[in-house]
Chain A
């Protein structure tokens, strides 16, 4: 009796796992996914994009029966493409209120930390947002930064290409630079000081407004734990980022609203 019940449960489990695959694989066109390079998480490759974000996203979508075609491009072009081209999504973009009126933010993919950097030899002892007021501030041009600095009435120089921010800081264009880019990726030998953490926000998947509801529903389901679902651990392992994966799971997923 118990064996029969177990067999039944296994069959049911397998059927449940296969159901979305069957539902989506029948004639569903691959979803075009565009993104800007974001080392070490996203790098352009012969196949479009690689890195833990790209591989984990592909894996999670495959579990829902969705196939992905990747293309690397600057974020502005990626967002423009999402608003004009059907069956297209942008991966790992920042939230912007204006884009939310013309595209659909389907799910969170990863947390990011906005950090205030200064040059360690510059002698700027900054520890809170108020202290930025008397300095030349550069920042990545995202809605959350605009909101935080705008609310505090602190002017800043927006940097559209985040990878240019640290070089601009080194060149003395700003006293402080606010970014989510991991400085070890691009700081070289110049010592950078992580003055303080400004905020923790998230990166998203933004899709075309005409995306079929069934596809959106499958994507929402797949992204419940962003790109840090347990299923994606082998992906992070191949990039030797197990520690980062586990830390992020512990800190980010536990903090998320249920």
Chain B
């Protein structure tokens, strides 16, 4: 199903691209990301720039972002800046799934077509606001479940597994934890505990240390992103447990690849950030070209996610 959605969306996007937009001027697209220090979002920005380079005649692109993962205030400042420049389209990876909804309502009220990417806005807040903001991104549950399944297959029955979740206000953080929980339950393992690593390696390390100390016979740590998995690997080194506790990550950023190669991290999931950016831009361009309004845009465009291991 996921593949079918992806291919369907791809076909729509590719059909849309060769056609010139009918507007007299080029439409402008602003992309606002979070955590520009995270390689994942650098790859996403790069994907957007590559798309633009291939279609420079069709639109103008401005990519911006905040440095920290949960910097809601910083994103609000960027939104005000964007409103002053009157962008036609906003594509945003929200720093928080709920508190970013209110500032986005102002953006939509100004007539800017708004698209949500990667970290889904909370449907509960969207329903309360009575708006449709399309989501372009993967199923984080499916991605995390595939990483979790791979790790738990290597454990003895009944082993204890700890979770390191991203941030409490993020839908994708919770979705990944749910995917990991499914893998743990389906295999008969035990969930030993959950800590928050706030997407960051230093805080991921701290979370891993807490879990290792509270559960001495912990067999695996499943992390909501690769930065926290890197922190977990550092925690294992600090406790002399490298190789004895398995680690799962998420995102397949370049920094995780040496750890996958050396088996310090067993698996991660690649959700192709560059492709996500390209799909969001394609959705924006095809909507503008066809004059589709915010409320009539497709609510979900699913993008691919795949398991990455050394083997």
Interface residues of A (CB under 8 A from B): 83-84, 95-108, 143, 146-147, 150-151, 153, 155, 158, 202, 209-211, 213-214, 216-217, 220, 256-257
Flag if B299 contacts A97 (CB, 8 Å).
Answer: no
Known: A100-B122, A103-B300, A150-B194. 20 other contacts (CB 8 A): A95-B123, A97-B172, A98-B140, A98-B175, A100-B123, A100-B175, A101-B140, A102-B2, A105-B123, A105-B124, A107-B127, A108-B127, A146-B181, A153-B194, A155-B191, A158-B185, A202-B124, A213-B295, A213-B298, A214-B296
Per-residue A-contact encoding for B156-199, CB less than 8 Å = 1, 0 else: 00000000000010011011011101000100000101100000
Does B5 make an interface contact (CB < 8 A)?
Answer: yes
The smallest C-beta distance from A232 to any residue of chain B, in angstroms, reads 19
A84 to B5: give the CA distance in the assembly, Å. 10
Q: In the complex, how many angstroms separate the beta carbon of A132 from the nearest chain B beta carbon? A: 15
Minimum Cβ distance to chain B for residue A214 (Å): 8
**Residues B127 and A143 in contact, CB atoms below 8 Å apart:** no
Specify which chain A residues have a CB less than 8 angstroms from the CB of B185 in the assembled complex.
158
B1 touches A97 (CB 8 A): no
8 Å CB contact of A146 from B138, B178, B296: B178
Q: Check A106/B120 contact, CB under 8 A, given A97-B171, A98-B140, A217-B295.
A: no
Q: In the assembled complex, which residues on chain B have CB atoms less than 8 Å from the CB atom of A214? A: 296
Tell whether A98 pairs with B179 under 8 Å between CB atoms, given A104-B299, A209-B5.
yes
Check if B306 is an interface residue, CB within 8 A of chain A.
no
A sample of 22 cross-chain residue pairs with beta-carbon separation below 8 angstroms, ordered by A number, consists of A97-B175, A98-B178, A98-B179, A99-B141, A100-B175, A101-B120, A101-B137, A101-B138, A101-B141, A101-B175, A101-B302, A102-B139, A102-B302, A103-B300, A104-B299, A146-B178, A153-B193, A155-B191, A209-B298, A209-B302, A213-B296, A217-B295
- Chain B residues in 8 Å Cβ range of A105: 123-124, 127
Let me know if B290 is at the binding interface, CB within 8 A. Answer: no
The 9 closest A-B pairs by CB, nearest first: A98-B141, A105-B123, A209-B300, A97-B174, A98-B175, A213-B296, A97-B175, A97-B171, A257-B128
The answer to whether the Cβ of B297 comes within 8 Å of any Cβ in the partner chain is yes
Contacts of A83 in B (CB 8 A): 1
On whether the beta carbons of A143 and B120 are closer than 8 Å, the reply is no
Q: Which residues of B contact A143 (CB under 8 A)?
A: 174, 178
Q: Contact at B297–A101, with CB atoms within 8 Å?
A: no
Interface size class of B (residues with CB under 8 A): 35 or more
Least CB separation from A102: chain B residue:
B139
B132 interface residue, CB < 8 Å from A? yes
Chain A residues within an 8 Å CB radius of B137:
101
Smallest beta-carbon distance A154→chain B, Å: 10
Residues of A contacting B124 in the complex (Cβ-Cβ under 8 angstroms): 95, 105, 202
List chain B residues, Cβ under 8 A from A217: 295
- In angstroms, Cα B131 to Cα A47, docked, is 34
Known: A107-B127, A147-B174, A220-B130. A101 touches B300 (CB 8 A): yes
Interface residues in chain B, defined as those with a beta carbon under 8 Å from any beta carbon in chain A? 1-2, 5, 120, 122-124, 127-128, 130, 132, 135, 137-141, 168, 171-172, 174-175, 177-179, 181, 185, 191, 193-194, 295-300, 302
Q: What is the minimal beta-carbon distance from B197 to any residue of chain A, in angstroms?
A: 14
A213 in contact with B123 (CB, 8 Å): no
Residues of A within 8 A of B1 (CB): 83-84
Of A97, A153, A220, which one neighbours B127 at CB under 8 angstroms? A220
Asked if A216 and B193 make an inter-chain contact with CB atoms under 8 angstroms apart, the answer reads: no
Q: When A95-B123, A107-B127 are in contact, do A101 and B178 touch as well, CB less than 8 Å?
A: no
Whether the pair B171, A100 counts as a contact (CB closer than 8 A) is yes
| Residue from A105, A106, A107, A150 with most neighbouring chain B CB atoms (10 Å) | A150
Chain A residues lying within 8 Å of B300, measured Cβ to Cβ, are: 101-104, 209
* Chain B residues closer than 8 Å to A202, beta-carbon distance: 124
Query: When the two chains form their complex, are residues A256 and B174 in contact, meaning their CB atoms are under 8 A apart?
Result: no
Closest to A103 in B: B300
Chain B residues whose CB sits within 8 angstroms of the CB of A101 once the complex forms = 120, 135, 137-141, 171-172, 175, 300, 302
* Best-surrounded residue of A97, A210, A257 (most CB of chain B within 10 A): A97
A151 to B177, CA, bound (A): 13
A81 to chain B, nearest CB (A): 11
List, in ascending order, chain A residues with CB within 8 A of B174's CB: 97-98, 143, 147
**In the bound complex, CA of A146 to CA of B5 (Å):** 29
Within the complex, the shortest CB–CB distance from B186 to chain A, in Å, comes to 12
A-side contacts of B128, CB under 8 Å:
256-257
Task: Determine the distance from Cα of A43 to Cα of B7 in the docked complex, in whole angstroms.
Answer: 39
Assembly CA distance A232 to B2 (angstroms): 37
Q: Which residues of A contact B141 (CB under 8 A)?
A: 98-99, 101-102
**Centre residue among B5, B139, B175 by max chain A CB count within 10 A:** B175
Q: How far is A165 from B8 in the complex, measured between Cα atoms in Å?
A: 42
Residue of B nearest to A100 (CB): B123
A33: shortest Cβ distance to chain B, in Å? 18
User: What distance in Å separates the Cβ of A106 from its nearest Cβ neighbour in chain B?
Assistant: 7
Which A residue sits closest to B176, measured CB to CB? A98
Cα A204 to Cα B128 with chains together (Å): 12
Chain A minimum-CB-distance residue to B299: A104
CB distance from A23 to the nearest CB of B (A): 14
